[in-house]
Structure 1
């Protein structure tokens, strides 16, 4: 998950970078004033922003947050040394996903990030309830793995297979176990890219290396994926053939 830090105190921005690294997330930029923050936001498109309210320069963190939200709604966690009501009321106008008072510990930051993502990508449902441990953002899954939320770009998915009541998401040399049925996962994938090859497998067609019509397997990343006879003709028709 990509995090943008907007903080004008170098010592504190270094601390935030260390916290983010310990949580397993990626810092994609650090800005000390508003204009630099806007440029980074436009070019890096972060998943979440940690924003100091009192910044050097002509723009406050609240001003910058308003600009961010007008460009692309993004979870923002405000950070400030001031806990006065006036500052809080001004910050509320930008609908932040959390509001932290300095100093705070990594655990508090981690909980705030998880809650921010929950609020950003869900409405009435809980992210970590007994029915689900995955949230689908616009072009990615957020998979909970222990105490981390791992962003998985859908384009990076090689294939999905079902095992008992779980679906297994295969990405390069890693896999994630989702408490979702194959049907539920399929409904969230682009049908112009993903195709079902077997009653228990869905593959990313752009990742197919070859198709063995004798053994009825599809090879992806050196792995053999079963190709059911009833799915073969549909797959062949959908591929661009020469």
Structure 2
């Protein structure tokens, strides 16, 4: 897991850097200029941001929220003052862990491991975080909201994700993908297809197809019971 540290206080920076010893985590950059926070996050594409409140205070809160909305990283916000205002700021940031200094190395490592556990790897170059999947291609990441995926289609060990007119392919089987809690809103309706559970608008049991988000999708006999259940159909 790659970490970017944005801490203004040199002593706090030294302490935090010394605490990150686990080989699972690597510090890829230390940001000292608040105005470069967004551009350096974009350049390094870290998995985790460690941010101090003294660094954050050099930015207007709206500017900080704008950067963190554009780059929704899991963030550890470190506060030396135990300030309620800073705690409220952490509540406004998505995926933020509020941590008051001083703390032990084990406390920080535990938080980093919790974040790492939430970042589910999907093959080597893609990853899931909460309701997003980040797909890497040509050294850039495409961020896709799982709610925007119309349906999933399996081709052996590959899965196609259809978003409107766009098609994204990952080297990960449909079965394994649907085991991820992030995809709990999907239901498998065919050996090769899955759709959002509550987007099934029409079903034809005679011709064995359904309509979900305007797409005509075949469904298999073995999945009929599950489909009936999510549609509240009796019999």
TM-score grouping bracket, smaller chain normalisation: 0.5 to 0.7
Determine which of 185, 188, 196 is the counterpart of 2:188.
196
State the match for 2:171 in structure 1. 179
Deviation, structure 1 residue 163: 0.4
Runs of 4 or more above 4 Å deviation = 12-22, 41-45, 67-75, 120-123, 125-128, 189-192
Determine which of 56, 60, 65 is the counterpart of 1:40.
65
Contact 2:149 2:162 in 1 (8 A): yes
Deviation, structure 1 residue 195: 1.0
Contact 1:133 1:179 in 2 (8 A): no
**Structure 1 residues 210, 190: CA separation in 2 closer, same or farther (over 3 Å shift)?**
farther
Which secondary structure state, in structure 2, belongs to the residue aligned with residue 230 of structure 1? Answer: helix
Contact 2:150 2:162 in 1 (8 A): yes
State the match for 2:30 in structure 1. none
1:217 paired to 2:209: yes
Deviation, structure 1 residue 192: 5.6
Alpha-carbon distance in 1 for matches of 2:145, 2:224: 27
Which secondary structure state, in structure 1, belongs to the residue aligned with residue 207 of structure 2? Answer: coil
Q: What do you get for the CA RMSD once the two structures are aligned?
A: 5.3
State the match for 2:148 in structure 1. 156
1:144 paired to 2:169: no
Contact 1:38 1:68 in 2 (8 A): no
**Structure 1 residues 122, 150: CA separation in 2 closer, same or farther (over 3 Å shift)?**
farther
Matched ranges for 1:1-242 at <5 A: 33-37=58-62, 40=65, 44=69, 46-47=72-73, 68=90, 72-73=94-95, 131-189=123-181, 193-241=185-233
**Structure 1 residues 122, 43: CA separation in 2 closer, same or farther (over 3 Å shift)?**
closer
Show CA shifts across 1:101-137 (max 9, x none): xxxxxxxxxxxxxxxxxxx6579x9969xx4332010
Alpha-carbon distance in 2 for matches of 1:126, 1:238: 27
Contact 1:169 1:175 in 2 (8 A): yes
Contact 2:151 2:162 in 1 (8 A): yes
**Structure 1 residues 34, 234: CA separation in 2 closer, same or farther (over 3 Å shift)?**
same
Aligned length: 188
Contact 1:127 1:134 in 2 (8 A): yes
Alpha-carbon distance in 2 for matches of 1:126, 1:136: 5
Unaligned runs of 5+ in 2: 1-5, 7-32, 44-55, 76-85, 98-107, 109-114
Alpha-carbon distance in 2 for matches of 1:180, 1:217: 25
